[in-house]
Structure 1
Amino acid sequence: MRHAHRQGAHTLLVPSPAGPEAWGWQGRTLSRRSGDRWLRVVSQPLDKPTGHLWDGTTAAEAQLPRNIPRPRVLDMLDWTAGGHRYRAELSELVPWPVLQTGGPVLTDELDLPDIWWTELNEALTTLAAVPTTRQAVRQQWIDKNFPAYLDIPPVQITDWSRASPAASHRVFSSPQ
C-alpha cells in the first residue's frame, strides 16, 4: 500500500506523501497529506467485486448537494498491479486540526463555537434528504453483536432511516 500510495502521488504529479499515515478498513486504504492536497489510495484484489469502499468517495462527490461542506475530489486514477486494482483519490486538504484521534469515539469534550454546531446540523438536515441504498448497520450485525457485547437479546429494527439532526440532536448539540 505504501508503494501504491507513492505511485499514485507520482502519477498524479503531487509532492511525495508526508506526515502521519491514516490507515483504513482492514488495511485496504491508506491516506496521507501530499503537498496541499489529501491522497487516499484504496486497493482490492482483482478476483473480488468492488463496492461501497471502492466507489464511496466518487459516489459522494457526484450525488451529494454542493452545499454540504466536505473536501472536493480533484482527481482520480485507477490502475492494476500484482493481482490488485488500485484507486488514487486526490482531494482538497482540510486545513483545520483533527478533533479526535485514536478511534471513532469521542473521549474528550469538544470546545467548538455555536456556529460550528449550527452548520453541522444544517449539513445533516441536507444529507438526510439524499436518497441512498447504503446501510451502515444491518440487522445481521445487531443479531450477532448485541448478545456478544451487550449480553442482551437483539432488538428487531422495524423502521430504518437515514441519520438526521433530529435523531442525533442529543449528540450533535452545542454544549451549554
Structure 2
Amino acid sequence: MRDQHARAAKALDVQTEPSGEFRGCPGVHRRRATGWLRLVSAPEDKASGKPGDGVPHAEHAFGDLDGHRPALLAVHDTVDDGTAYRAELPARVDQPILSDDPILQHDLRLPDSWWPELAGTLEKASVVDTDRVAVRRRYMDRAISQFVGILAPAATCWTGAHSDVQWANPTEPLRLVDWEGWGRAPEEFDAVTLYAYTLFQPDTAARVRTVFPILGSPVGHAAEATVCAQLLQTVSRGDNLILEGLFRDWSEELRGR
C-alpha cells in the first residue's frame, strides 16, 4: 500500500508528509497532502478496477455542499497483480477535526451558528436521490431483532445520508469529511448517529436532541433502532465499550415504546 500510495502521489504531482500516515479499515491508507491522499484497494475481479466509488459519487451528487464538504480534486486508478487501487485527493481541510475519537469525550464549545449549519447540510444531503445504499433493510431485520430485541420498525421514509456522522468527521467552522459510505438510509439516520456518539456528554446530547427534534419521535424510530443495533453489535466485537451501558439503556427505552 505504501508503494502504491507513493506512485499515486507522483502521478497526481502532490507531496505527502512522511509523518502523516493514517490507516482506516483494511485496504484504506492515507497521508496528509494538499488534502488527504486516500488510497483504497480491492481484488480486481470484485472492484471492476475501481474500488471505493463513494467519494467520486458524492462529488457528483453534492459538490461542496456550500463549502461544508471538501471537493474532490483528483482520482487516480491503477491495477497491479490482480489488485485494483484508487487514490483520491480531496481539497485540504485546514480546520482540525472536533475529536480524535468518534465518541465525544469532552464538552465542545461550538458557536450557536454551527448547529443550524450542520442541520442544513444534512438536510441538503438527505434530499439527493441515489441508488447507493448505506443501510439495508435485510440488515435491519436481522440486527434490530438480535441486538435491540424488537421487530425492525418500518422506515416511513428513506433518504440520502452521509452514514458516518460522528465526532471524528466534522470540523469547526463546519466541514464534514469521509463521504465514502454515503447512501440511502432510514430518515434522520445521520442525526441519530451523531446523537449515539454524544451520549457520554449529556449536555451536548441534549443539544443534539434540540437541534434534531425528530429524535424520540415515531418518524425517527426506525433510524434509532438501526443505529442502536449497529452500535450494540460493535460492543459485541469489543468496540465502543465505554458506551455499552448507555447503549443498553437506549435499547431498553426503544423496547418500551
Which whole-Å CA distance do the structure 2 matches of 1:94 and 1:171 have between them? Answer: 28
User: What corresponds to 1:58 in structure 2?
Assistant: 56
Q: Residues of 2 paired with 1:31 and 1:37: CA distance? A: 10
Please name the residue that 1:87 is paired with.
86
Deviation, 1:3, is 2.0
Q: Is the 8 A contact 1:24 1:30 kept in 2?
A: yes
Question: For the structure 1 residues 52 and 122, does the alpha-carbon distance in structure 2 shift closer, same or farther, using more than 3 Å as the test?
Answer: farther
1:91-124 deviation per Cα after TM superposition (whole angstroms, max 9, x unaligned): 111111121223x333333221111112112212
SS of 1:48's equivalent? helix
Shift in Å, 1:29? 1.6
**Aligned residue number for residue 24 of structure 1:** 24
- Uncovered stretches (5+) of structure 1, i.e. residues with no partner: none
- The within-5 A match list for 1:1-176 is 1-25=1-25, 27-34=26-33, 36-49=34-47, 54-66=52-64, 67=66, 69-102=68-101, 104-150=102-148, 152-162=149-159, 167=188, 168=191, 170-171=208-209, 173=211
* 1:58–1:48 Cα change, 3 Å: same
Q: CA deviation at 1:58?
A: 0.8
Q: Which secondary structure state, in structure 1, belongs to the residue aligned with residue 77 of structure 2? A: strand
8 Å CA contact retained: 2:49, 2:79: no
Tell me if structure 2 keeps the 8 A contact 1:68–1:127. no
Cα distance change on mapping 1:171 and 1:46 into 2, 3 Å = farther
Change (3 A) 1:71 1:95: same
Q: Label 1:49 to 1:77 Cα distance change in 2 as closer, same or farther (>3 A).
A: closer
Letter matched to residue 58 of structure 2: A
**How has the CA–CA distance of structure 1 residues 158 and 124 changed in structure 2, closer, same or farther, with 3 Å as cutoff?**
closer
- The CA distance in 1 between the partners of 2:51 and 2:75, in whole Å, is 15
Which has more helix, going by share of residues?
2
Alpha-carbon contact 1:40-1:90 (below 8 Å) kept: yes
Q: How many residues align?
A: 169
Determine what percentage of the aligned residue pairs are the same residue: 32
Shift of 1:134: 2.2
How does the TM-score come out when normalised to structure 2? Answer: 0.57
Structure 2 distance, partners of 1:85, 1:47, is 9
Q: Tell me whether 13-22 or 129-138 shows the greater mean CA deviation.
A: 13-22
Whether the 8 Å contact between 1:44 and 1:50 is mirrored in structure 2 is no
Q: Which moved more, 1:155-164 or 1:73-82?
A: 155-164
Quote the Cα distance in structure 2 between the aligned partners of 1:124 and 1:173: 12
Contact 1:79 1:87 in 2 (8 A): yes
**Alpha carbons of structure 1 residues 125 and 147: separation in structure 2 relative to 1, 3 Å:** closer
Please give the secondary structure, in 2, of the residue aligned with 1:7: helix
Instruction: Give the C-alpha shift of residue 51 in structure 1.
Output: 10
Distance 1:65 1:90 in 2: 14
The runs of 5 or more residues in structure 2 that have no matched partner are 162-186, 192-206, 213-257
